[in-house]
Structure 1
């Protein structure tokens, strides 16, 4: 507020000293704590959970500033002093950059204030005080750093020196994040000695660069004088009068910004509604495959319900003028009718639930295709609709990343098992209603009557390849990571945190595709995408993943090009044909693994490479058509000023989603500090369970019920079979992520989805030192996966094998598999446990290959005659207990459990002892006696058996 009258100047300070003070006190806080900590507690602050001095010899920031007195107090005192300068710095930056008709300076100032407050939060609430709130404040601070940095760059006054330094420090800050994360994973996951010290150097560098970025404001604040005036003259005679303050002439004020113009909040809400609308479409579409899969799964073959896959071909009917006109005139109600897919969770009968979602998919595909076609002459609106659809797809992947690969509004979930169905439906109705409002704009692009167009059929081919590729590879951030997963020791990416990197690259590809459509629509970009596809298909670990990232970048970048080009044609041979070919590819990529159960299956057996080649050829056809179509436009789809403004809102929300993804990755980062249930007893409780693809008898997702059973059985090690869900028809899910994180276990996913098996996985409370994935001989029937893993069990190395043999119909396959597995078990020089699905009768046929001299293995209970599928075998380790637990309604197979003790003499006697003679720590839980709990109880012999 201006003074009531002119007064005498008491003191005048140049604005740059605010920046200098902020920099000085901030560095004093961190470096002062470092000096005091090294001087007083050096060996303690370099110690971490794995190593100490001399392996680790430089402390991390968190260990220095938060763990001990007095360095923590030194840090807190100087940070408290810094806060005043920090608030002043944010305020001066707002005053410097504000201008009429622009909301961005105010937004960035609010972010700066929020960031300052959260800094105080993680400073004064240490992880020792309250770990959760410390993490909340820290994550909020880090998330706010990105918009603050980018906002300051965007609002920078035209001071070349300041802009240069800002770009340098921002680049160093964000560039440092890559090696920082890498060495943190080396320390946390791989437990590499010395990695945490290198991580600490990068962590301290982040602090230096962060403070230095804000120090650059000193170059801009030289234009300010901070003046204190005595308007009543009370200070006369006490201080020497300073020269009267001279106002800066208006001509010297800076009025230039990258983001001039008003920030129209209703437009932002429109963009958010459009994106959520796209998210709803993808949520419904991706749920269809899971519901279809339920029926062949329980019928053990073709059920007839597979025809519902064809629910997507409704755009073919847009070739009929009457239907096309009717749909375009009633787009709101067409979209609204598709929301019945979000109500499907209320339908208890599985068949009717499938039909409900099938109708929703039919209407969704019809409505989106008609909408793209209707907007074909307005490039700005068309691009907005395409962006909404694509960002909605990315949001669906983020939702699965946050929810352990399940979409929270899928109809296989309800509120009792992690579903957000009611919330999703309410938001969807609001979003679709707002998204489908009539537009107030008129006119469109001028297209010459004789403009060239590409082939509508080729455009349809391109769409089919695009839809299939993004759905099969990118609808879940962990899919490509599991393609290249090769076991322990970890030599490639992990689902967490690297799933966030997949989402970031997808988003970057979409951004570049909108900004540079000519580049992403070129043959050069197509060639790079094809190379990425080849690397993903042919290589494992990081090399394969880098190829996958290149492919992800290309697919999202080329999507706007292919869709906008296809929209110029009749929607029936483009979108209708595209969705039909997408369905063909969906069946194709199931046939390569389900060849033993489908007609013509052996022709495409194990040919994922054929699928990838076909997909890229289809996309290439679409690129060819798009290049021809674009060359015929006299006015390109390159966005008008209106189009750029509209797109900016979508891209800002896309940026916000990256912050959300980074936060999710931080929160889900594995702790790797897992403990067995009975470590004092040196007990290892191991189980085997065929989980039937995590769909229970009533078509509900079964992860949480499985979690409860495994936890209550106190399993330290468990083998899971029929666990590979990374296909469209299975929802691109990964049950092991939820189980491992919630139960606190290491996980080996086993042979990946490109290895053409039904899956095997290993969860372990004990560190997995090494694992090898095997594909056993299967000349006729389905491939048999196996995991051979070495665990560190109380300091003793124990080998655990998880194995799923072929089906009963293929006896030669099963004979060859038994011989192969017997050889690798015999070759193990360590104590070993087999957790398996063998398809044999006890003491007959191949049983004598698995058990006996050929393998060196012993049956956990030879007298148990009632087995056919699941078996537990062991050698050179003491067996103390065995139990069979009924499945409830979760799956079609029981849980078998064995208890073993490490470090005691081994006896292969089958003499049983009463439970009273067993130490309490070695007993099975009493919870499952009698009627048990939730359908799980000890059955067959109605109680556990124990051995001396």
Structure 2
């Protein structure tokens, strides 16, 4: 045993456990002293929240307790400052205890511990009142760092059974507490349930207790230290094995256990990041193709087949790999091929939409060819093949994370530019650098295209599997909110919402990816396939949380099965597996468009509204891939060419990138959580300004993404409630977007997306400054033409319940549909005893035909201005409200339809006689708070101006 100390050399010596005990006692003192003082001095104030106070809420949250009130804030800050000293020492001792040669995990955990300590000081000393943004940044950083700190400490725990047991219990309790914590927060914030915040507060305090207690367990480990400082038992000298080492020695073939067993190298990490970015660029280019085809094609201009659709066939370029000379040339020049595909990111520089489409089409052609050739060339080298597939699948996840951050838009799409959130130039520069980095070493199989070890099985079936997996990943996982909107059924909220629950979809994608890499045989198996089919059935047939559970299963399964299916396909004829596979993918893409676009395409009525057929077909295609990947002798070949120790040197870096992306998604979810503190524009005047706008899929007349321009004009018109039509963008042809997320968050509004993308409509959405108490989605009678969506919502407007209907009727070519729809909606509006507003697209002339069904005794509705003869599509109707103003505003080049806006005052008597109700007055007779903005008079602003009447109309 090493000598303890020499006499007279040490002034003070004490056990390392007292560092942990000091940290624990002072940290608890900080929170508990603030709680005692706060309850004693300001009890009713600190239990009060934005919705409820005492007695409904009777226990304060952590943030309310340690917030801005004196003196409890001072108690907290003094003790938490004292805590920082032992905290830094605790992190340092933990590193000394766990450090070992050739391992980066202890360094990473130590850095995380220091980072958490600094960010704790950040959110402690910068309150939300001082600087809300920085307070949130520090808080999010602290919470995000808690995950790697906890997992890292578990992985590095010394062989101390008691300490390991306590850590597992406390970590499980901490992360388990997050579930009810989020649940009760949503109950409070979204549903405004009395008492929910008190329950949330208990779980929030539990998190504090568990968090501090987790670090207190180090007292059991630090007994090995005597602060001189010397290690009296030799634990820090590497003599004692930690649990992670013992596991690796005992299970040398355990792939998961060896992920972090190698020395960290920045060059390898940069390689992995470059590979993943190349995958991100592939998915960005591929997902943009449908948008530019759609915007150049039907229905925006041609309303039918125009011929530009042929460019979706640019994905079948891998057919060229069937020609030996072409295959050899492509494989030997992969760097050039990938660089050429990256030039698709410069398509935004081409202003002509048709030419822009051709640039994107060429980029997709080269992208598909490049990636298929890359997989084929690495087929005989499982380590490199796994890395390329990992990069491609993590690239999809990165695309979803970026869209989650940008509220479903991709900043490097060709419909983006500098004024609408685009980062195209930066994206292109990074893409070029990434290609140069990741292709500096050519594929090991470039010189031998016979690719030894080719697997048995049918290339055709493998190609069908590739088509299925490409389509499944693209249609369901290229945006984190797509499947959430499949199961959305309106208010009150009974299921997931895009933010924060998009992070759950991304987490499921990451879990599926790890499953497919670390247990490939199970991922490709029939049992897992069966579970995937159950997920598909739940997603297709159920709504709310039940349907979303199916969505999460699908996310896990699709990401998991991608690795074995692509691995199998890469070892067969590439022209068939990837060329034919992407042809099948194109067929599925058209199939999935035809179910809603049946009115505009030949043969469309045959597959009208058959999303279930699409899902069944997709799962059968994936099943074909699973079947051929399980062909005889393939298991032996997989073992022969399976993962080698070298693969374990590459895997960790892709896992690091994946971990960073997942943590980023968690931070985004926190930042995007709805605040629900929205305020109408003229609260003091009790004015409700309502509008209707057909936004034509958020693409302007020059084919740029239009959500920024839409936001600006809606804000400047001071619209409190607006119905948006032709707003469903959650399909491949529209880029799997959702403009309502961007508008709602930027404008501070509640949002109801309306009937989801699996309901086969062109979309209807409602944005409101007022709380949406309840909403119901309707699909109106449509025996021949397109389905007509409607939203029936009850809003809490200044304490009065008002119904708002948003409706898009069928097209002009189907008069019987429109007649049936008018009768249905008229009865629906007539059934409500509350005041009501209809924001609609009716396809009728004023005072003629179906107009007299909408405006009738049955509905009880009045036209906002019966004298406005120059209407065909958009109408605002109302009942039980005093209308004070009406305006028509030019759309500029945003879409093909104007904005119609009406003003209503709440709480004043409603004129009964029609003459009195429609009496016009001058603007000078109208109080200032009831007037329309002056900026739209004359030439207006950015092409928006009052037109038809040349000015708003006001009524007595």
Hey, what does 1:187 align to over in structure 2?
A: 188
| Matches for 1:488-567 after TM superposition, within 5 Å | 488-567=491-570
Q: Please, which of 816, 829, 845 is the counterpart of residue 833 of structure 2?
A: 829
Go from structure 1 to structure 2 and tell me whether the alpha carbon gap of 1:782 and 1:441 turns closer, same or farther (over 3 Å shift): closer
1:250 is displaced (CA, Å) by 8.4
Aligned residues: 931
Q: What residue in structure 2 maps to residue 673 of structure 1?
A: 677
Q: Distance in 2 between matches of 1:117 and 1:607?
A: 55
Partner in structure 1 of residue 925 of structure 2: 917
CA offset digits 1:716-737 (Å, max 9, x no partner): 0000000000000000000000
Once the two structures are superposed, the pairs formed by residues 226-375 of structure 1 within 5 Å of their partners are 226-227=227-228, 248=234, 253-256=239-242, 257-258=244-245, 259-294=260-295, 295-296=297-298, 297-375=300-378
The alpha-carbon deviation at position 198 of structure 1 amounts to 1.2
Name which of 862, 884, 887 aligns with 1:880: 884
For 1:249 and 1:563, how far apart are their aligned partners in 2? 46
Counterpart in the other structure of 1:232 = none
Inter-partner Cα distance in structure 2 for 1:23 and 1:585:
59
Q: Residue 938 of structure 2 is aligned with which of 912, 921, 930? A: 930
User: Within 2, Cα distance between the matches of 1:277 and 1:392?
Assistant: 7
Question: Which structure 2 residues correspond to residues 85-124 of structure 1 after superposition, within 5 A?
Answer: 85-124=86-125
Kindly state the Cα deviation for residue 95 of structure 1 after the two structures are TM-superposed: 1.0
Query: What SS does the corresponding residue of 2:599 show, helix, strand or coil?
Result: coil
**Is the alpha carbon distance of 1:638 and 1:8 closer, same or farther for their aligned partners in structure 2, counting shifts above 3 Å?**
same
Matched, 1:728 2:714: no
Q: Report the 3-state secondary structure (helix = DSSP H, G, I; strand = E; otherwise coil) of the residue aligned with 2:92.
A: helix
Contact 1:887 1:893 in 2 (8 A): yes
What is the distance in 2 between the residues matched to 1:715 and 1:249?
Answer: 67
What's the TM-score, normalizing by structure 2?
Answer: 0.95
Q: CA deviation at 1:4?
A: 15
How far off its partner does 1:443 sit?
12
CA offset at residue 249 of structure 1?
A: 8.8
* Structure 1 counterpart of 2:161: 160
Pairing 1:377-776 to 2, within 5 Å after superposition: 377-438=380-441, 453-628=456-631, 630-633=634-637, 635-636=639-640, 638-776=642-780
CA–CA distance in structure 1, aligned partners of residues 25 and 163 of structure 2: 19
Label 1:868 to 1:646 Cα distance change in 2 as closer, same or farther (>3 A): same
Answer yes or no: is 1:806 the counterpart of 2:810: yes
1:33 correspondence with 2:19: no
**Partner Cα distance (1:157, 1:615) in 2:** 49
Deviation of the 1:254 alpha carbon: 2.8
For the Cα contact (< 8 Å) 1:94–1:109, is it kept in 2?
A: yes
| Contact 2:453/2:637, CA 8 A, preserved across alignment | no
Residue 251 of structure 1 deviates from its aligned partner by 7.6
1:98 is displaced (CA, Å) by 1.5
1:534-588 Cα deviation digits (max 9, x unpaired): 0100011011011111111111011101000111101011011111111111111
Decide whether the 8 Å contact of 2:838 with 2:876 is kept in 1. Answer: yes
- Say if 2:882 and 2:906, in contact at 8 Å, map to a contact too: yes
Structure 1 residues 374-383 or 103-112, which shifts more?
A: 103-112
Partner of 1:293, secondary structure, is: helix
In structure 2, relative to structure 1, the CA distance for the partners of 1:860 and 1:277 (3 Å cut) is: same
CA contact (8 A) 1:25 1:79 kept: yes
Deviation of 1:160 (Å): 2.2
Contact kept, 8 Å, 2:17 with 2:220, in 1: the verdict is yes
Alignment check: 8 A CA contact 1:99 1:255 kept: no
Question: Which residue of 2 is the match for residue 170 of structure 1?
Answer: 171
Task: Give 1:644 shift.
Answer: 2.0
Q: What do residues 331-384 of structure 1 show as CA deviations (whole Å, max 9, x unaligned)?
A: 000000001110000001000000000000000000000000000111111000
Supply the RMSD in Å over aligned alpha carbons. Answer: 2.0
- Pair 1:228–1:202, CA change in 2 (3 A): closer
CA gap of 1:221–1:748, structure 2 versus 1, over 3 A, is same
Unaligned 5+ segments in structure 2 are 246-259
**Pair 1:263–1:897, CA change in 2 (3 A):** same
Q: Aligned equivalents of 2:494 and 2:93: distance in 1?
A: 48
Shift of the 250–575 alpha-carbon distance from structure 1 to 2, 3 Å rule, reads closer
Structure 2: distance between partners of 1:273 and 1:133: 31
Whether the 8 Å contact between 1:379 and 1:444 is mirrored in structure 2 is no
Sort the Cα spacing of 1:825 and 1:319 in 2 relative to 1 into closer, same or farther, 3 A. Answer: same
Cross-structure match for 1:209? 210
Matching of residue 134 in structure 1 with residue 135 in structure 2: yes
Aligned to 2:248: none
Distance 1:757 1:811 in 2: 18
Q: Is the 8 A contact 1:315 1:366 kept in 2?
A: yes
Match of 1:940 in 2: 948
Q: 1:412 offset after TM fit, Å?
A: 0.3
User: How far did 1:255 drift?
Assistant: 4.8
Rate the CA distance shift 1:915–1:102 in 2: closer, same or farther, 3 A.
same
Q: Which residue of 2 aligns with 1:240?
A: none
In 2, are the aligned partners of 1:448 and 1:633 still within 8 Å (CA)? no
Q: Secondary structure at the match of 1:558?
A: helix
Contact 2:224 2:233 in 1 (8 A): no
CA distance in 2, matches of 1:333, 1:443: 14
Cα contact 2:96–2:236 (8 A) shared by 1: no
CA deviations on 1:646-695 (whole Å, 9 max, x unpaired) are 11110121111111000001111110010110111111000000000000
Kindly state the Cα deviation for residue 67 of structure 1 after the two structures are TM-superposed. Answer: 3.1
Q: Which moved more, 1:303-312 or 1:603-612?
A: 303-312
Deviation at residue 468 of structure 1 after TM alignment: 0.5
TM-score when scaled to structure 1? 0.96
State the alpha-carbon separation in 2 of the partners of residues 334 and 654 from structure 1. 26
Indicate conservation of the 8 Å contact 1:452/1:631, yes or no: no
| Cα 1:110–1:736 shift into 2, 3 Å | same
